[in-house]
Structure 1
Amino acid sequence: MTGDLGLFGPDSVSWRVHREPVLWLAGLRALYLQALHPRAVAGVVQNSDIRRDCWARLMRTAEYVGTVVYGTTEQAERAGRRVRGIHARLRGRDPRTGEEFRVDDPDLLRWVHVTEVESFVSTARRARLGLTDDDVDQYYAEQVRAAELVGLDPASVPSSAADVAAFYDDVRPRLALTAEARDVAKFLTVPPIPNRLILPIGRTAWLGVATTAFALLPRWARRLYRLPGFPTTDLAASLAVVSLRRVSNALPVREGPIYRDAMRRAEQLGTAPQPAAR
């Protein structure tokens, strides 16, 4: 595994985007967006107790994304097999029709994938990482490999900004603010914070972070949540995420072992990227 740079490698846009600490804000944005799909949110609510293990769930998701982006090929594929195995066992029931559905239904997997990668790259762009239109298209094309890991046919995965925009146009009529979506959004905004996290995070600080993540949503998504989709909200959110990026990059952020191992492998091959700006 010494020379294995994984699915993407140092020259990829994926490595460039995901090394930014502020990207955890994008993960929260994706959760707000994903909750607007009635079946997707029902599958989550019916198969897990997010109120009891929300922080552990968030950490597992962050670790999975880190493994897929920076892990070796074998580590990424093993993580994908584990996720596919979990999803294959889960079922949900449509809250409107009563119909049973599989959690690993391709339409649901595609929704989760697209909202996740679009949240990452759009947040990175609004944080002024200097991504060009070509960079964004390359990122989407690279992330098709991540979609394959969860069981999607690569030919069915949006692989450019135009594809993603068309995907959203197609799926929007099926989105809605259900009772489950409202509960999840409220929970994401005001979650229970364990005592050990109160000091470093703080309830007021988390509310500010969650509000920023919500404001980063597309205008049509904010309107589905019965909130205004004003352009001024977009401007304020962009300014906020730029400020949060500066704060995040100024903090002594401790990279995880998967990222450090990736940097060591890249250094051994003489291809290590420049460290992210602090």
Structure 2
Amino acid sequence: MQNTPLQEFFSKRFRILLTGDPDGVPPWLPAVQASNDAGLFLPDEAPWIVHADLGTLVGGIRALLMQALHPGSLTGVRSHSRYKNEPLGRLSGTIRWLTVTTFASTASTGKEADRVNQMHQHVKGKYKTSAGKTIDYRAADPHLLRWVHIAFMESFLRSHQAFSTRPIPGGADEYIRLWARSVKPLGLDNAPLSEAEMLETLDRYRPELMVNEETREVIHWIKNPPLPVTSLPAYSLLFQSALASLPTDYQDMIGLGHPSLHILKPVTTNLLKFIRFAIGPESPIEEAAIARLHRAGVMKEGEIILRPDVTI
């Protein structure tokens, strides 16, 4: 199905907002198109299904809130990020990694991991722990990498479970197990492989989480980003839904109340359905990825998937 002219208009505006590209063409589209080999995931697998869904709009906000609660990842954002002066630049960088890793070939995924690893080499400094101790940190530290990975993974998973209607193939365990592949090129070999392991790991991080003035400053920015005025009502609903989907003790730490997930769930689910209708069924990224899979012989006519071995 093709977009109508009106859907194409809204789709372009939507892509401009997310990518920062004035023409609405994702800068990472060539990386998804490139090569004639398969990637880490296929269209019928959990990471592809979750990350192609608009529930990621809630999940991204939720992940940023979670990351802000850890003083290590918070310091990295405040000291080395463009989040204030170039907010769309930071957003598009995160979207690029997620999109390339999910939909591109293994060759492009490797190049994207190299880009992120090089960037991480410059992200280092000191931060004060929840116990008041000042310690050194590096973005490439496996302990911090694991926290950032889990914050994104758990947020995308919970947002999909709460606000999306498409089932996850294999459920939560399969999403977590497969998405662990994404961080191996970043040097993280011990990511959780099941929902139980993810929850256990989150519990181990809980004593490290804290809120101070710096945390509140970043959370205020997440709640009130410099978006176009026309986008603010929808963003406010997405923010409240992200907050509502967090565990109660995280909400207590953030200090912005306890919005009702029971009330927000149907409203946000319908908003995401409306956005999908408004921007139309076309997806340049998915279409480019599927065309590459056809060239690679991984998908045949009728989208029959011939599953390759994935090694990374």
Q: For this structure pair, what is the TM-score category when the shorter chain's length is used for normalisation? A: 0.7 to 0.9
The reply to whether residue 174 of structure 1 matches residue 174 of structure 2 is no
Unaligned segments of structure 2, at least 5 residues: 1-33, 305-312
Structure 1 distance, partners of 2:125, 2:100, is 27
**1:264 corresponds to:** 291
Where does residue 264 of structure 2 map in the other structure? 237
Partner of 1:252: 279
**Cα contact 1:7–1:145 (8 A) shared by 2:** yes
Q: Which residue of 2 aligns with 1:198?
A: 229
Q: Distance in 2 between matches of 1:21 and 1:266?
A: 23
Give the equivalent residue in structure 2 for 1:223.
Answer: 252
d(CA) in 2 for partners of 1:132 and 1:103?
Answer: 31
| Deviation readout 1:246-274 (Å, 9 max, x if unpaired) | 1122122586644321121234522748x
Q: Structure 1, residues 126-178: CA drift from partner, whole Å, max 9, x if none?
A: 1243436942101100011111122211xx21111101110111111111112
1:32-47 alignment to 2 at 5 Å? 32-47=65-80
Shift in Å, 1:5 = 2.3
The answer to whether residue 211 in structure 2 is matched with residue 211 in structure 1 is no
95-104 or 181-190, larger mean C-alpha shift: 95-104
Unaligned residue ranges in structure 1 (runs of 5+)? 274-278
TM-score (norm 1): 0.87
**1:113 Cα deviation after fit:** 0.3
- Of 131, 134, 146, the match for 1:110: 146
**CA distance in 2: counterparts of 1:133 and 1:166, whole angstroms:** 23
The DSSP-based 3-state class of the residue aligned with 1:176 is coil
CA distance in 1, matches of 2:195, 2:265: 19
CA deviations over 1:175-225 (Å, ceiling 9, x no partner): 1112221111100111122xxx334x2x33322222222222222211111
Name the count of aligned residue pairs. 265
Q: Which amino acid aligns with 1:118?
A: E
**How big is the shift at 1:27?**
0.7
Q: Is the 8 A contact 2:159 2:242 kept in 1?
A: no
Matched, 1:162 2:196: yes
2:72 maps to a residue whose letter is R
Partner SS for 2:222? helix
Post-superposition shift, 1:237? 3.2
Task: Give 3-state SS (helix, strand or coil) of 1:222's partner.
Answer: helix
SS at match of 2:193: coil
The C-alpha deviation readout for 1:97-150, integer Å capped at 9, x for no partner, is: 332211211111000001101111111111243436942101100011111122
Post-superposition offset of 1:83: 0.3
Aligned pairs for 1:74-153 within 5 A: 74-95=107-128, 96-131=132-167, 134-153=170-189
TM-score (normalised: structure 2): 0.78
* Residue pairs, 1:12-27, within 5 angstroms: 12-27=45-60
Cα distance in 1, alignment partners of residues 165 and 110 from structure 2: 29
